[in-house]
Copies of this chain bind each other. A is one copy, B any other.
Amino acid sequence: MSEITNTPEPPYFAVIFSSCRTEVDDGYDEMAARMVELASQQPGFLGIESAREGVGITVSYWESLQAISNWKKNAEHREAQRLGHRQWYSSFRVRIARVEREYGMG
């Protein structure tokens, strides 16, 4: 599913979401897929990368802090956050960062 995002010239913003899951499934995969779909439709969305191997790391990229703030307040996203806190995640960390520099290959 996940590929490396072709982001524009910095600066832009990243939300680094690191999480550990509980053993509760109960719709988790559907929610996760729906959140990727929904995020992709938001203004200012640039892309998303995600992997889980013990810890889960999802990095979404955004044009502005305002775009991130709007996404955080999205009603369907808020409901997913609520269920995440309550049942899907044993711990998580959200970090909002300004990407200053980027380089790579391929």
Contact = CB atoms under 8 A, between A and B. Distances in A.
Number of copies: 2
Interface residues of A, number: 41
B102 A94 contact: yes
Interface stretch (A23-31, A36-44, A51-59): A51-59
User: Which secondary structure dominates chain A's binding surface?
Assistant: strand
A89 interface: yes
A97 B14 contact: yes
B2 A95 contact: no
Contacts of A19: 4
A64 interface: no
Interface-central residue, A1, A54, A89, by most chain B CB under 10 Å: A54
